[in-house]
Amino acid sequence: MRIAFYAPLKSPDHPVPSGDRRMAQLLGLALQRAGHEVELPTDLRSYDGSGDLEEQRRLATLGGKVASELVAYYRQRPPDQRPQAWLTYHLYYKAPDWIGPRVAAQLGIPYLVAEASVAMKRAGGPWSLGHEAVLAALKRADAVITLNPADDAGVLPHLAGADRLHHVKPFLESAPFAHAADHRAEHRATVARDFGLDPAAAWLTAVAMMRQGDKLASYRMLGEALAPLQAQDWQLLVIGDGPARGDVEATLAPLGGRVRYLGALAPENMPATLAAADLCVWPAINEAWGMAILEAQAAGLPVVAGSFGGVPQLVADGRTGILTPPRDVAAFTRAVDDLLRDTARRRNYAAAARAKVAAEHDIVAAGAALDAILAATTKVSA
């Protein structure tokens, strides 16, 4: 099946690294692995971060123009070269889809959404136009695929029927991470040499963009939680970069020389770097689910994380890591302390984490699930 794939927040080829962009890339790859042809009809970014109504109107007008151009373009193609379905990834009030519903309706093809969230508090507010566009798109959607069950309650009331909601677990291509985990010793030696780390110490790792808001709040909580553990032998590897780097460095400054900043790593370098560490630590404040947490487990790391959003479907509390109550600094400190002191427990969690990702979160299983949803949706829409 030929699928038009659109990500209004960040196109899969957007230059800024992020979990959202990576998930968009993985969705396209999963569909291709399942035998579908995926094309990107446009890279128009519909994001308005400031609540500017005039900007939203401008984007809506531009989206309508792009939709008309796409319909004309597709109609010039032979029928077997036209999209047979439209899939929009990550739909929310700051980045609505002004294009897909119109194109799908005019071409008479199914309109699908992967990852949508609804915040009713935005009704009538500065993002009201984007909010209403999200609701209209959901009402039009033939299928909505969710990776985070926490979004269900907000999305379900706006669908044409409950049977249009489908669940697919967050996923990745696990093989590179498993391979890296199998060669942990050599990767650990390389990372120790490159960043001046003590191989005998326990290496904690935190992976996140450095920006204001929830990410910075998580970094601040992480600094607070690790500060009481100075008697333990550990070092913190921070992977990520961004406009709030100065604030992150300031909030982690009390940890002194224990912190190493590795910067934003290319995706192909992540498996080896993660596999070299001992424990992933991330408070995950208001995290939807967290690609970095999934990647860490795939590389054989146990996880200590805050129990936000969809994080509990990734981390099996007491089996692949420890989940702590949201924003509970003391509980987070205790969890990290417990695992730093218990090497055998870390080892058991690490093995269970790898097994869980391979069994439940691999791209092959995701591709099969997406293929089944497409088949069912196309059949119903025919």
- pTM assigned to the model: 0.88
- The ranges assigned to domains in the chain are 2-171+362-381, 175-360
**297-307: pLDDT as tens digits:** 999 999 999 99
Is residue 310 within 8 Å of residue 288, measured between CB atoms? yes
C-beta atoms surrounding 76 within 10 Å? 9
Q: Give me the pLDDT at residue 119, please.
A: 86
Q: Give me the pLDDT at residue 380, please.
A: 59
Residue 19 has pLDDT above 80, yes or no: no
Residue 159 has pLDDT above 60, yes or no: yes
241, amino acid identity: D
Query: Which residues face 37 on adjacent strands?
Result: 2
Residue 13 has pLDDT above 90, yes or no: no
Q: Give me the pLDDT at residue 100, please.
A: 98
Mean pLDDT across 107-122:
94
Residue 224 has pLDDT above 90, yes or no: yes
Residue 60 CA to residue 173 CA, distance in Å, equals 35
C-alpha count within 13 angstroms, C-beta hemisphere, residue 228: 13
**282-292: pLDDT as tens digits:** 999 999 888 99
Show contacts of 190-193: CB within 8 Å, 24+ apart.
Answer: 190/272, 190/276, 191/237, 191/272, 191/273, 191/276, 192/276
Residue 332 CA to residue 305 CA, distance in Å, equals 8
Q: Which two tokens stand for residue 4?
A: 């038009």
Residue 271 CA to residue 174 CA, distance in Å, equals 9
Higher pLDDT, 148 or 322: 322
268, amino acid identity: E
Is residue 295 within 8 Å of residue 177, measured between CB atoms? yes
Residue 258 has pLDDT above 90, yes or no: yes
**DSSP at 15:** S
CATH number for the domain running over 2-171+362-381:
3.40.50.2000
Q: Give me the pLDDT at residue 309, please.
A: 87
- Domain 2-171+362-381 and domain 175-360, same fold? Reply is yes
Residue 50 CA to residue 55 CA, distance in Å, equals 9
Ordered DSSP codes for 33-79: HTT-EEE---------SS--HHHHHHHHHHHHHHHHHHHHHHHHS-G
- Is the CATH code 3.50.50.60 the one for domain 175-360? no
- Among the listed residues 243, 251, 300, the one whose alpha carbon sits nearest the alpha carbon of residue 277: 300
Residue 102 CA to residue 104 CA, distance in Å, equals 6
- Among the listed residues 244, 238, 286, 225, the one whose alpha carbon sits nearest the alpha carbon of residue 264: 238
Q: Quote the percentage of the chain above a pLDDT of 90.
A: 91
Average per-residue pLDDT for the chain: 95
Is residue 104 within 8 Å of residue 111, measured between CB atoms? yes
Residue 52 CA to residue 213 CA, distance in Å, equals 19
Mean pLDDT across 148-161:
94
Higher pLDDT, 148 or 350: 350
